[in-house]
Amino acid sequence: PAPPRAARPGPPQLVPKPGPAPRRPAPAEPRVEVQRIAATPAQAVERADDAVDLLLESGRNPGDILVLTVDEAHPWQQHELSFGEERYWAQLAEGGDVFYADAALTRPVRREVVVLVVNGGPSARAAEAYARALDHATALLVVCGDAGPAAKGAAGTTPGRPGKA
């Protein structure tokens, strides 16, 4: 029979030194894919609407999509606000449909897909909106229009039509 474990010959046992445990690298967050759709400020809302339609046709759930506008509110946002602020914000909390908001949205919301509509405003606001939109997206950011150099040089950026990531 084999000798008990303590009696087995082998390398000496290492005793950990007292002190803080070694740091383990934090798990990497999944990278958000960025797609750009060329549009002038005047075309951006229309291109965003087309993008949302394509996303829905590709199988995305409406509640997975957030549309953010840099300048003037999207017409659908204006329509929803006509029923009152309370009802409008309740739709965000319910999360069952595409939600339209200003890019300066400060409420904590994450959606799989964010469509950023660069429909005017100063370039600094568009660049800030791009950074915020990245924070709101978990899988895909679709930028309709010119959001500045940061959006153009984003790693993983692919021009084209939005699809299922």
3 state SS of 5: helix
pLDDT of residue 24: 57
Cβ proximity of 101 and 68 under 8 Å: yes
Q: What is the pLDDT of residue 156?
A: 42
Distance, CA of 131 to CA of 21 (rounded, Å):
35
What does the pLDDT read at residue 25?
53
Q: Is the pLDDT of residue 82 over 80?
A: yes
| CA neighbor of 50 nearest in space, from 33, 61, 38 | 38
Lowest mean pLDDT among 16-25, 63-72, 73-82, 112-121: 16-25
Strands (E) located in 19-150:
33-37, 65-69, 99-102, 111-117, 137-144
pLDDT at 159: 42
Give per-residue pLDDT as tens, 17-59. 565 655 655 555 568 999 999 999 999 999 999 999 999 999 9
- C-alpha span between 98 and 44 (Å, rounded): 17
So what's the pLDDT on residue 157? 41
pLDDT class of 160 with cuts at 50, 70, 90 = very low
Tens digit of each residue's pLDDT (9 = 90 or more) over 95-135: 999 999 999 998 889 999 999 999 999 999 999 999 999 99
Pick the CATH number of 30-157 from 3.40.50.300, 1.20.120.420, 3.30.565.10, 3.40.640.10: 3.40.50.300
Please count the CA atoms within 13 angstroms of the CA of 111 that sit on its side-chain side: 28
Map out the domains of the chain as residue ranges.
Answer: 30-157
Task: Report how far residue 112's alpha carbon sits from residue 118's, in angstroms, rounded to the nearest whole number.
Answer: 19
Of 124 and 4, more confident: 124
User: Residue 134 and residue 35: Cα distance in Å, rounded?
Assistant: 12
pLDDT in the model for residue 155:
43
